[in-house]
Amino acid sequence: MKKREKSAACPCGSGLLLSVCCAPRLAGERAAETAEALMRSRYTAYAIGDEAYLLASWHPSTRPDSLDLAADPVKWVGLSIESCTDGQAADSTGRVRFVARYKAGGRAGRLAEDSSFVREDGRWYYVDGEVA
């Protein structure tokens, strides 16, 4: 990650700097404590093109073999967390409903998804999502 990115506002919309919000998660320095924190860090990974982190935080049962974000260029421009069900530090499953806004080919779009997460060995993983 470039220095300039780290001192910018975090793409996940937390209001914090990237350097103290999602960057330590992407770097493997700090695990996501909650499903929402993992969801936010994965959004940030999409926004800055961190394929390795997306794969590492994907549950092995549903994880694709590889990702190629460059093949389908999308600029992610905003995230709103609509609701969270469970997904706290002591839970083993969680759901997060969110809306992500993007621009692709000069057009604006939005993705509304209800994502499910599991916690195994103290780590949260993304399992899958339904378009909400």
The reply on whether position 12 binds Zn ion by CB under 5 A is yes
For Zn ion, the closer CB: 23 or 67: 23
Q: Is 10 exposed, middle or buried (0-12, 13-18, 19+ CB in 10 A)?
A: buried
The reply on whether position 37 binds Zn ion by CB under 5 A is no
Q: From CA 47, how far away is CA 86, in angstroms rounded?
A: 25
The reply on whether position 14 binds Zn ion by CB under 5 A is yes
When binding is defined by CB under 5 A, the residue of 21, 32, 45, 54 that contacts Zn ion is 21
The residue with tokens 């000069």 is 106
The reply on whether position 47 binds Zn ion by CB under 5 A is no
Are β-strands 107-120 and 93-104 bridged in parallel, bridged antiparallel, or unpaired? antiparallel
- Interface residues with Zn ion (CB under 5 A)? 10, 12, 14, 21-22, 40
